Chains A and B, each alone.
Chain A
Amino acid sequence: MSDEIKAEKTMDLKGLPCPQPVIKVSKGIKEIQVGQVLQAVTTDPGALADFPAWARTSGNEILKTEQGGGLITFWIKRMK
């Protein structure tokens, strides 16, 4: 299903400690256009709650979250 979402940019955030994944994503999303999608791959279990909370406050949308093999992957659409 992940193939259905085309990501404009992918960020490898594996192994980064708190709060670097959210910081990097909040910077990275500004490097794509509104309406485009950012894919972020992290190993941080807290990201499962932190990314949605960040998306809600920053006004972006998490389209999909996928877990497997110790990795958590988010597809985030820039909304503004």
Chain B
Amino acid sequence: MDKEKKKKLLDLFQSKLDRSMRYYLDVCTRCGLCKDACFAYASVPKVEYTPVWRAEVVRKIYKRYFRLSGRFFPFWGDSAEIDDETMKQVNEAAYSCTGCRRCMMYCPFGIDTQAIQSIAKLLLIGNESEPEILSMLADASIEKGKSLDLYKESFIQGIKNLENEVIAKWKGESDQTIPLDVEGANILYVALAGAHSIIPAASILNAAKENWSLSFFEAVNFGAFVGDPRKTQLIAKRIIDEAIRLQVKEVVICECGTAFRVMKHLVGKQPFEVSHIAEVMARYFKEGRIRVEKDRIEGMITYHDPCQSARNGGVIEEPRYVLQQLTSKFIEMTPNREYSLCCGGGGGLVALENEEFREKTGKAKVNQIKETGAAIVATGCENCHTQLGFLNERYNMGVKVEFLSNMVANSLVLES
């Protein structure tokens, strides 16, 4: 690695060193309490899959270049030069961590491994060795924001093709199917690109007689997955600008944990509320705005808490409230809520299609699901849904993986 590259990487490292980051890098006592918290280590007990090992990869660079002892006596202590070999370890650390932050719940010092891994991901971008696919998807999202007029008509056409399916799910009165560009709407619903993320929510919002508008942009934020703060903000800004232009009261994020967390917690205060679709469904039930036929969906149902919307986003009780309306056969996984085990699909891993890693490190989640005896695993995140479906297939679990919104939409009934 040449001097110029090294300097660039160290400047990037420096840019992340605020007070809390220095604390995370300084205080670890290597007690090892974090290791049993990690879904990957729980599935495959390898030292490289412990949060402390991943953090140490970054911490060694920190010790070498940002602490006095490392700068003057680099041969002392556990420090590491930043070079090609170290960057290989940085890659392994960053992309064997989903950023679920379960380890933080068990760390006596509250060390945020995801924050530390955000340094690792930024170094990989600086080294131009980040996963190309994630950067490419982030760039495509930004491009859509910059040149919406080029893609608007195609999107409108694609959405129009879905209208009959929305009508088929909700047969009640409604003067709308999938409204777009509605100024003054109460809700701007931000979906994913797929029909599965649009049709159920549209049926529910119409059933509740909501004044809503569908966003032109997809919720998913590949800038966050790849760990690029600039791209993360640019991708989120497309939605923020749309929400401000339409003067909506609330931005509702579809079942995508990272998209929700970015919009709710990482873009600062905005002139609108931010909610997860599970929170909106729970609200509609409480206000009597939607009704469902309880137990129309047969079989025992369990719920997988998506790390980014539950532990890191605070949406924990609302999905359970929704499930209580749908079924009398709900069973919790153990542990659950903020202590839920990651499924192993987050942090961009599903998009990377790293199937071998995802299969072996998903074993703890598989065992947890099997112990419930449930026939259906409900969840509220696209990444989790994809990963759970993948594990279901690989481990022959014989369950059905379902989105909460789809279950609600399929159980809707007209007013009695």
Q: Is the CB of B136 within 8 A of A54?
A: yes
Given the contacts A17-B382, A48-B158, A57 and B195 also touching, CB distance less than 8 Å: no
Query: What is the minimal beta-carbon distance from B96 to any residue of chain A, in angstroms?
Result: 20
Say if the beta carbon of A49 comes within 8 Å of chain B: yes
Chain B residue with Cβ nearest A47: B193
Report the 9 A-B pairs with minimum CB-CB distance, sorted nearest first.
Answer: A46-B193, A45-B158, A49-B151, A48-B154, A18-B193, A48-B158, A49-B155, A57-B139, A54-B140
- A27, A46, A48, A67 pick with most chain B CB within 10 angstroms: A46
Say if the beta carbon of A50 comes within 8 Å of chain B: yes
Q: Is the CB of A17 within 8 A of B144?
A: no
Q: Is the CB of A19 within 8 A of B157?
A: no
Say if the beta carbon of A80 comes within 8 Å of chain B: no
Known: A18-B197, A46-B193, A49-B216. 15 other contacts (CB 8 A): A17-B382, A18-B192, A18-B194, A23-B351, A23-B353, A43-B195, A44-B195, A45-B193, A45-B195, A49-B155, A53-B147, A54-B140, A56-B147, A58-B136, A67-B157
Query: In the complex, which residues of chain B have a beta carbon less than 8 angstroms from the beta carbon of A47?
Result: 158, 193
The size bracket of the interface on A is 20 to 34
Bound: A22/B193 CA distance, A: 11
Chain B residue with Cβ nearest A44: B194
Query: In the complex, which residues of chain A have a beta carbon less than 8 angstroms from the beta carbon of B159?
Result: 45
Query: In the complex, which residues of chain A have a beta carbon less than 8 angstroms from the beta carbon of B216?
Result: 49
Q: Which residues of B pack against A, CB within 8 Å? A: 133, 136-137, 139-144, 147, 150-152, 154-155, 157-159, 161-162, 192-198, 216, 218, 220, 222, 351, 353, 382, 385-386
Chain B residue with Cβ nearest A17: B194
Q: Is the CB of B137 within 8 A of A22?
A: yes
Q: Is the CB of A22 within 8 A of B140?
A: yes
Given the contacts A46-B158, A49-B154, A23 and B196 also touching, CB distance less than 8 Å: no
Query: What is the minimal beta-carbon distance from A64 to any residue of chain B, in angstroms?
Result: 13
Which residues of chain A from 35 to 80 have any CB-CB distance to chain B below 8 Å in the complex?
43-50, 52-54, 56-58, 65, 67, 70, 72
Chain B contact residues: helix, strand, loop or mixed: helix
Chain A residue with Cβ nearest B155: A49
Bound: A18/B256 CA distance, A: 11
Q: Is the CB of A46 within 8 A of B218?
A: yes
- Looking at the complex, which one of B152, B194, B385 makes contact with A46 (CB distance below 8 Å)? B194
Bound: A52/B195 CA distance, A: 18
Query: What is the minimal beta-carbon distance from A38 to any residue of chain B, in angstroms?
Result: 16
Q: Is the CB of A50 within 8 A of B218?
A: yes
Bound: A45/B178 CA distance, A: 13
- Looking at the complex, which one of B157, B222, B351 makes contact with A48 (CB distance below 8 Å)? B157
Q: Is the CB of B133 within 8 A of A52?
A: no
Bound: A52/B147 CA distance, A: 11
Q: Is the CB of A57 within 8 A of B154?
A: no
Bound: A47/B140 CA distance, A: 12
- Looking at the complex, which one of A27, A45, A50 makes contact with B140 (CB distance below 8 Å)? A50
- A17, A47, A54 pick with most chain B CB within 10 angstroms: A17
Q: Is the CB of B158 within 8 A of A72?
A: yes
- Looking at the complex, which one of B151, B194, B222, B385 makes contact with A52 (CB distance below 8 Å)? B151
Say if the beta carbon of A10 comes within 8 Å of chain B: no
Bound: A46/B351 CA distance, A: 17
Bound: A44/B195 CA distance, A: 6
Given the contacts A53-B144, A58-B136, A18 and B161 also touching, CB distance less than 8 Å: no
Q: Is the CB of B133 within 8 A of A49?
A: no
Query: In the complex, which residues of chain A have a beta carbon less than 8 angstroms from the beta carbon of B162?
Result: 45
Chain B residue with Cβ nearest A45: B158
Query: In the complex, which residues of chain A have a beta carbon less than 8 angstroms from the beta carbon of B144?
Result: 49-50, 53
Q: Is the CB of B196 within 8 A of A17?
A: yes
Contact with B along A1-43 (1 / 0, CB 8 A): 0000000000000000111001100110000000000000001
Query: In the complex, which residues of chain A have a beta carbon less than 8 angstroms from the beta carbon of B192?
Result: 17-18, 46
Query: In the complex, which residues of chain A have a beta carbon less than 8 angstroms from the beta carbon of B220?
Result: 18-19
- Looking at the complex, which one of A19, A23, A52 makes contact with B150 (CB distance below 8 Å)? A52
Bound: A47/B195 CA distance, A: 10
Bound: A49/B157 CA distance, A: 10
Query: In the complex, which residues of chain B have a beta carbon less than 8 angstroms from the beta carbon of A19?
Result: 137, 193, 220, 222, 351
Bound: A50/B195 CA distance, A: 13
